[in-house]
Every structure is written in structure tokens, then in C-alpha cells.
Amino acid sequence: MADAPVVVAVDGPAASGKGTIARRLAEHLGFAHLDTGLLYRAVARRAMDRGGDPADGEAALRAARTLEAGDLAGEGLREETVTSAASVVAADPGVRAALLDFQRGFAAAPPGGAAGAVLDGRDIGTVVCPDAQVKLFLDASPEVRARRRVRELRQRGANAIYAAVLRDMEARDARDRDRAVAPLAPAEDAFVIDTSAMNADEAFREALAHFDARTTSQK
């Protein structure tokens, strides 16, 4: 019988570095990668494209139930309007339940027959894959994360204002941490990495070292 896939859960707030670390880990290990935030962005985008309000639970739920894999490659998923709408959509218990099977299926049977899967989001280690062999939680101060987001937006040509980005990020953090279902929080057995004073390479090395330590001890 083939070994079960190794699952790596990478959680954290926006601009903490979790997406970059998850992609690099997946590439380094030869694992499949799923940015679960794209699921909620795609739901928000689909609801908006249909003329619905993402804050309307029925519109968001219809979009979640009809979501297709191809929607994750749609245009405009990184736009700030979609980012804000995705945070609203993600707080809806019905939407989260509708997308749970998709995420767990990806972890249980990684595409391409990969030996493992790296999923990044906000509740991977606590709700989606509570039995993941490796759990990471990346964090950084709101000020550092806002500066990172401003730099990212300006590189895309957007006219980003730091004060506005920080305000939006703090509001999003509050929604994510205070929601009744699957609030943003480290799993009890997660390895927490504060990336405030780290560059991407330093954070990756720390994450990989923890992966190696965890998987070696479980053999």
C-alpha cells in the first residue's frame, strides 16, 4: 500500500509571507500546492461578476457551490476589491463548508500523484487538515505587513497609500480573528515563525528546518 501523502499546513494573516513560503516548500519538496485563499477570492469574484453582493450569504453560497477549478486561474483575483470581498465571503459558515471538501480532497489526493501537498490559508492546521504532519503559522506586525502590501501593489502599478492599506489590513485581521467559524489562530501544535525581521530566504530556511525535524521524528 502506498504511503499516505505528507500534508503541510501553512497558516497566517495577509502579507505574513505564508504564500511565498508555501510555494517554495512545495517546489523544493516536489509537493502539490494549493493557495486556499484563491478559493475565497474566486467565490467573491464570481459573486461580483454575477451582480451579487459578496456580503449576501445566498449569493456567496451559490458562487461557492458552482466553483470550478478553472476559476482559480481567473483574472483579477488579486485586485484589492476582490481581496476585501474575499475576507467577507470567508466569514460565511455556509461558504466555508461548501469549500471544505475541495480542500481536503486536494490534501488526500494531491494532483499529479505528488507525494505530498502544501496548503496555505487561515484555518488549514485547525480545521481543514487538523491531522497535517507539519503545521506552520507565519505572522508579522501589521505595520510590516502593510508595508509589504504597499510595495506589492505599487509594483503592480497601483497607487497604494500606506495609511489606507494599514487600516484595511487591521480591519481584515479583525474579521478573520473574530469570526465565529474557523477564526484565524495558530493550531496548538503549529510552529510559529515571526517574519517581521526576516527576509524570504531566512523564513524559508526556518520553515524547511522545521519540516525536516518533524518528518524525521515521525519516521
- The string of pLDDT tens digits covering residues 63-110 is 999 888 888 888 889 888 898 899 889 889 999 999 999 999 999 999
Encode pLDDT of 21-58 as tens digits: 999 999 999 999 999 989 999 999 999 988 888 889 89
Instruction: Please give the CATH topology (third level) of the domain spanning 6-214.
Output: Rossmann fold (3.40.50)
Please check whether residue 183 is in contact with residue 177, taking contact to mean a CB–CB distance below 8 angstroms.
yes
Q: Strand, coil or helix: what is 97?
A: helix
d(CA 5, CA 176): 29
pTM, two decimals, is: 0.89
Laid out side by side, the sheet with 134-139 consists of 32-35, 116-121, 6-11, 134-139, 191-194
